[in-house]
Structure 1
Amino acid sequence: MTARHRPWPGEPPADEDAPPADAAPDEDGLRERLAAAADACDAPDVVLALSRHGRRTVHSGGTGAPSDIAREDLRYEIGSASKTFTGLLLARLVRQGALTGGEPAAACLDPGRTVGPEPVTLAHLITHTAGLPALPRDFLPRTLPARRTNPYARYPAARVTDAFLRHRPRHRPGTRWHYSNFGVAVLGHAVAAATGTPWQDLLTEHVLRPFGLSGTALAAEDPKIDAAGYGKDGRTPVPPFDAGGFQAAGAVRATPHDLLAFLEAHLDPAGSPAAGALRAVRVPVLRRGLDHRHVHTMAWFRHPTDGGPMYFHSGATLGQQAFLGFRPGTGTALAAVCTRRFRARDPFIATAYALLADG
C-alpha cells in the first residue's frame, strides 16, 4: 500500500473549512441524543461534551456509582488521542523555526551517528510512514508479566530509543503507511533531544499553558480527580495507565472540559497564539488506500461529510477510551470519554463518531 504526500506542513485554502451561519441548535433534542448515546456506550462512566458554534452541551452518565466529584470534572486517559497534542506541538515548533520536520530522528537521538541518504525524519514519525512496526519487536516478551496491568510501564524511554536506533526498516521511509505507537514515541524523544527540553515541559509550554488546559497532565496524580478505569466486563478495576517511554504516543489524561477547549481552538484558529499551527494540522499530508480515499493530516484522521471535512482521533488504554473530533464546516466539536476497556463489537467509538458525523 503506497502513501502519497503533499508538502508538509502547509496552510489550507482560506475558505476550505469556513463554517456557515447556522441557526441555534435544538438544545432539548441534542441533550436527548447525548443521553441516548451515553446509554449505548455501556460503561461505568461516560461523558459526552459537545460544542456547536461556541455553545457547550455536556452529558454525564454511566452504569457505575458516581463519585464525590462530578464525572465531567474528572481527568480521563485518552490513549492514542494524545497524538493530536503531539502533532500540534510539532507544528508549533516548526512554525516557530525551532525545527523543520525534516531532521533525521537518529541524528537527534545520537548526534554523532552517521545517517544514510534517506533517513527516518520527524515528519515520517508523526505521519506513520517511518517503516516502523506498531511496537518494538521485543515489546511483548519484555512486558508480558504486566500485559493485564501496565505493560508500557515496563518499557522505558531508553529502551524505546535503543530499539529505534537498532531497527532496520523494511521499506523506504515515506513510502508506506503503518500506524505506529513506536514511531510517535520515538518522535517525542527525538524532539526533546533536538530542543534540549523534556517532553512534558515542551507540551506544557507550547500547548497546555497557551490553551489554558490546567486539567491536563501526563500521569495520574490523585485518585480523587483521576477517573478509574475498568476491564472489559465493566466491573474489574484496572490501575492508572503508565505510558513508560511512550509518552508522546499516549500519556495525556484530561478533563472533558479541557478536551473540548482543545478542540474548540481547532475550530476557530483566528486570534489564537497557535493560529498557524492549528491551520497546519488540518492540511492533508497523506492519502492512501483505494483511490486514496483515506486522508491523514499530521495530527488527525480526516473523512468527508456533507458539511465539510471531519477530523477525528480515538484512543484507548487498558481501562478507558476516548474519541476527539471536530467539523469546522458546522462549527461542531466532540470530546467523548468512557471508563471501560475496548472489547469486541464495542459501541463507544462508533457511537461517538456518529454523533459528530451527524452534528
Structure 2
Amino acid sequence: MTSALIPLLPATERALLHRIAVAQSDGRAPSFAAGVARDGYPVWTAVRSAAGGRGESADTQYRIGSITKTFTAVLVMRLRDEGLLDLQDPLEKHLPGTDAGHATIAQLLAHSAGLSAESPAPWWERTPGSLRPELADVLGGQTRMHPPGRRHHYSNTGYTLLGSLVAAVRGASWEEVLRQEILEPLSLNRTSARPEAPYADGWAVHPWADALLPEPMEDLGLMAPAGQLWSTVADLCRFGAFLATGDNRVLSVSSLREMRTPAAPAENGESESTYGLGMQILRVNGRTLVGHGGSLPGFLAGLWVSVEDGIAAAALANATSGPLSAVVAAELVGIVAEAEPRIPEPWKPLSAVDQELLALTGPWYWGTYAFGVRLLPERGLELQPLRGAGRGARFVAEEDGTWTGLDGYYAGETLRVVRRADGSVLHLDLASFVFTREPYEPDAGVPGGVDPQGWRGLPG
C-alpha cells in the first residue's frame, strides 16, 4: 500500500491542526483554511474561524493573489511546448507595441526582465482594472528599472504582459484559455477568476484593536494574470500535485521540472530562496519546496510542494496581514514529511534488459576519479561518483543512441559511447570529458595521451 492510501496518524493530524489554530489565533485572522495532499491524494483539511464568523469550510473560496502567476506560467510553457514560441524570443515578436518588447519571455517568467515591480498609482490591488485599460497604462514607462537578465526583481507588470501574450497567441482571453487548458483538465472546479459562492470576504484587521474593516475586491483587468484567481485548499493541493508529477493533458513532467529549476539569480542574503519559471523555490530545513505565495488586500495564501516527499500543502486566510499563510503552508509540508516519511515503492527489476547497455554499467574513470554507471528504466543511465562528492547525473536515452543529462552539472549535456573500428567500447564521451574503464587507460583515447612508461613510484 502506498503512503497516499494510508491515513495520517492522529498525532500528525493534531500537529497540523495545532499549527493552523496558532496561525489563526496569533495572526488574528477571521478564518484560516489549510489542506495537505500526499502522492496526489487529499489526506487532511481543516478550517479555523472566528467565533460568530460565516462558518467557512474546506470548499470556501479565498483569493490566492500571486499564486495566479504559476497558472499563467503554465499557460506560457504550453505555448513553448507546442512550438508557438521560444522562451528566448523577445516579447516584441509575439506581442508588439509595448515598451518592454526587448525583454525575453524567459526573463519575464523569471522576474529578471528589469521591469518595475508595480503598476503606476493608484494602488492597483485596491482599484478597478478599468483604470488601466491598456498595457501602456499598466507599464507607465517603467520598463528598464534594471539591466535585463542581471538580477531578480519581482514584477507584477511582467506577468500582466505574459497574460496578454497568452491571449494574443491563442486568440482568446487569458481567462478563457486558463479555463480550457488548466482548470477543466485538472478538475479545478472551485478555481475561478471571480468569486463563486461560498467565498470568504476579505478583511483588514486593525493593528491595535480586534476590529475589522472590509477590503475592496476589485476585478484587476489586465493585471489579472498576476493575481486575480480565487480557489480553495482542495483545488490548490490538486494543482500542487500536478506541479510535482505533471499531466500530459496540461504540461509534461519534464517541462514542470524546467519550471522548478532556478532561472534567476538570488538577491543578496536570500540564498535559501530563488525563482524558477513561474515558481518560487525554497530550501527549508534541508528540504526543497516549490510553489508560490500570494496576497491581495484582505487575503493571504501559500502553496508549497515537496516533490521528493510527494507532499503538497495549501494555506489560506482572509486577512490583509497577520497569519503568514505561505510560511504556514511550508511548515505543514515539514510536519507531515518528518512525522510520516514517505514509504518507498517496492523495488522491481527491469522488465527487459538490453545486454549492450548492461555492458556499459560498472566503474568508469575520469582521470583518476572513480564513477559508477547504473542502468535505469527505459534505457536511461545514471553516473555517480563512487567516493565523496562529485558531478553525478541521470541521463535519458535519445533516439540517436546518445543520452541527455537530466540534472546536476551535466543537465542538458550529451553522453555518447565512442567505439573502436571493431565495435568495442573505446570510452564514454560526456561534454568532451573522456571516461575510461581504467584510470588513464593507454589506448582509450585520453586527450593529451598517456605516458608510455605507465604508473611508477616516486623517484628517489
Report deviation, 1:255. 1.9
Structure of higher CA gyration radius: 2
Find the partner of 2:127 among 134, 137, 151. Answer: 151
Aligned position for 2:9: 27
Aligned position for 2:64: 78
Unaligned runs of 5+ in 1: 1-19
SS in 2 for 1:267: helix
Deviations 1:129-188 (A, max 9, x none): 11111113xx22x34xxx8x8225354341x34553844414331112111111111221
Find the partner of 1:197 among 172, 179, 198. Answer: 172
Q: How does 1:228-239 map to 2 (within 5 A)?
A: 228-233=201-206, 235-239=212-216
| 8 A contact 1:228–1:239 mirrored in 2 | no
CA distance in structure 1 between the partners assigned to 2:275 and 2:143 by the alignment: 25
Aligned position for 1:129: 112
Report deviation, 1:24. 4.8
| 8 A contact 1:155–1:245 mirrored in 2 | no
SS in 1 for 2:265: strand
> Paired residues, what number?
324
SS in 1 for 2:150: coil
Q: Is 1:225 paired with 2:208? A: no
**Superposition CA RMSD, Å:** 2.9
| 8 A contact 1:80–1:250 mirrored in 2 | yes
CA distance in structure 2 between the partners assigned to 1:58 and 1:229 by the alignment: 21
Deviations 1:82-136 (A, max 9, x none): 111111111122112222223322443336x8998xx112221111111111113
Counting aligned pairs with the same residue, the percent is 25
Deviations 1:265-315 (A, max 9, x none): 123226664224333322222232459824221021112356642113111
Q: Is 1:56 paired with 2:40? A: no
Deviations 1:11-53 (A, max 9, x none): xxxxxxxxx9799564212221222122222211111100123
| 8 A contact 1:304–1:310 mirrored in 2 | yes
CA distance in structure 2 between the partners assigned to 1:91 and 1:176 by the alignment: 22
CA distance in structure 1 between the partners assigned to 2:285 and 2:327 by the alignment: 18
| 8 A contact 1:310–1:357 mirrored in 2 | no
CA distance in structure 1 between the partners assigned to 2:15 and 2:48 by the alignment: 13
Q: How does 1:72-221 map to 2 (within 5 A)?
A: 72-110=58-96, 119-136=102-119, 139-140=120-121, 142-143=122-123, 150-151=126-127, 153=129, 155-158=131-134, 160-164=135-139, 166-220=141-195
Q: Is 1:286 paired with 2:269? A: no
| 8 A contact 1:49–1:59 mirrored in 2 | yes
CA distance in structure 1 between the partners assigned to 2:245 and 2:308 by the alignment: 11
Aligned position for 2:20: 38
| 8 A contact 2:42–2:234 mirrored in 1 | no
CA distance in structure 2 between the partners assigned to 1:152 and 1:105 by the alignment: 26
Quick check: which one's helix share is greater? 1
What TM-score results when the alignment is normalised by the length of structure 1? 0.80
| 8 A contact 2:78–2:250 mirrored in 1 | no
Q: How does 1:248-259 map to 2 (within 5 A)?
A: 248-259=225-236
Report deviation, 1:62. 1.9
Higher RCO, Cα 8 Å, sep 6+: 1
Q: Is 1:47 paired with 2:25? A: no
Quick check: which one's strand share is greater? 2
